Amino acid sequence: MQWQAIAVVLTSAVLSAGSGAGDDQPALRRAAEKSGILIGTAARPAQLSEAAYAATLAREFNMVEPEDALKWEVVHPERETFDFSQGDEIVDFAARHGMKVRGHTLVWHRQNPKWLTEGKFTSGELAEILEKHIKTVVAHYRGRIFAWDVVNEAFDELRPGSLRSTIWRDQPGIASSDELRAASNQVRSESEARSWQPAYAYIERCFRWAHQADPQALLFYNEAEAEVVNAKSDAIYAMVRDFRERGVPIDGVGFQMHIANLRADVASIAANIRRFTALGVQVHITEMDVALPVDAGGNARPEDLERQADLYRQIASACLAQRGCTAIQTWGFTDKYSWIGSHSKRTQGAALLLDRNYRSKPAYEALRSAFEWERR
Ligand code: XIL
């Protein structure tokens, strides 16, 4: 008991001294709420027992997304087994702290369990498995997860504008012309169905299944390296426009925003956000971090931290400038826990808003001031 009390005192001392969120300065969350935008972060259930982690998460954010806890390998470890324990921890935490939850992700080519990837299923079996997965997971969180990344990273960076070859798309893929015909009253014969069928027909099926499981949830297509106007975002734009025209239930597009280039083209990011919101869908920035070169101790150069802050501010401003851009989410919040370290073999890091000791960095202040000054 005594130790707990001391820990609480120490933790709050660190937090109020270091996070920039003391009495005189409103926290990020409050600033975001005043400016009418959601501020979110990815989070890992294993860290929730760390007092500083949990307190910071609840104080600074009004939205949270399980970083890995809802991916197939965690939630669907065996064909007949669903395990929601990790996802539930995050969702329960969010409920206790009045935070919204984004779900990530129902269909992806990574972090899938072996029983699935090595199961040698036929197209029909795979469609059945995926439909059950989507409907079971979405229904479990009906009313508690307000937005889902239904499909993640379906477009290929190596073949601009084309879909990636995956188990879901063509290895063996889930699309069947019968079902497509039923989904579209524009076509009558099977040959017509085949010629009509766009390559992204499988994505359409996923959105329809998710919508059936929770008609209230906002359904997003989420993508990497499509934040600027480029061949990938052009292809996504064409797909989303087609979905909207044909009434396929899509509500938004997520741009991941993993940035490793301090000269990122912010004007192009702004133009891209503008053209997508003009289609009538929401835009969420879903996984923002700005990776910096770091030394062996994980430290970045002070001038890079300033340039990083500029990017956070400019990208937040680009989002705030469009009413349809409704959320900004970072991929974690403390440099203590960020995927960038392992992803870059420790050559990059320091990508988030708070340092390893939960002290605010220039990027934190930049984001907060963008929320304070650029009210909608
Ligand atoms: C990353 C997680 O942060 C890591 O913990 C995990 O080991 C690998 O995946 N794009 C996505 C995210 O959509 O799901 C990825 O998350 C980062 C890239």
- Quick: pLDDT tens for 238-273: 999 999 999 999 999 999 999 999 999 999 999 999
β-bridge partners, 329: 40
Which residue's C-alpha comes closest to atom 15 of ligand 1?
67
Q: Which of 44, 47, 67, 70 to mutate to test the pocket of ligand 1 (most atoms within 8 A of CB)?
A: 67
Distance CA 354, CA 312 (A): 13
For position 4, what pLDDT does the model report?
Answer: 46
359-363 long-range Cβ contacts below 8 angstroms, 24+ apart? 359/18, 359/19, 360/18, 360/19, 360/20, 360/21, 361/305, 361/308, 361/309, 362/305, 362/306, 362/308, 362/309, 363/290, 363/305, 363/308, 363/309, 363/312
- Residue 112 Cα to ligand 1 midpoint, Å, equals 12
Distance CA 199, CA 168 (A): 12
> What is the rounded (10 degree) CA torsion for 169, 171, 87, 44?
-100
Which residue's C-alpha comes closest to atom 16 of ligand 1?
67
- Residue 339 Cα to ligand 1 midpoint, Å, equals 7
Ligand 1 pocket list (CB less than 6 A) = 67-68, 152, 224, 256, 287, 339
Which residue's C-alpha comes closest to atom 3 of ligand 1?
339
pTM for the structure as a whole: 0.91
List the structure tokens of 47: 């860290």
Closest-CA residue to 66 (of 33, 89, 98)? 89
Whether 271 and 230 have beta carbons less than 8 Å apart is answered as no
Which segments in the chain show pLDDT lower than 50? 1-24
Q: Which of 331, 342, 344 to mutate to test the pocket of ligand 1 (most atoms within 8 A of CB)?
A: 331
β-bridge partners, 81: 78
* pLDDT tens-digit map of 303-357: 999 999 999 999 999 999 999 999 999 999 999 999 999 999 999 999 999 999 9
Which residue's C-alpha comes closest to atom 13 of ligand 1?
152
DSSP letter string over 151-187?
Answer: EE--B-SSSTTSBPP-TTTTSS-S--HHHHHHH-TT-
> What is the rounded (10 degree) CA torsion for 336, 337, 342, 346?
-20
For position 13, what pLDDT does the model report?
Answer: 38
For position 11, what pLDDT does the model report?
Answer: 43
Cite the active site residues: 153, 287
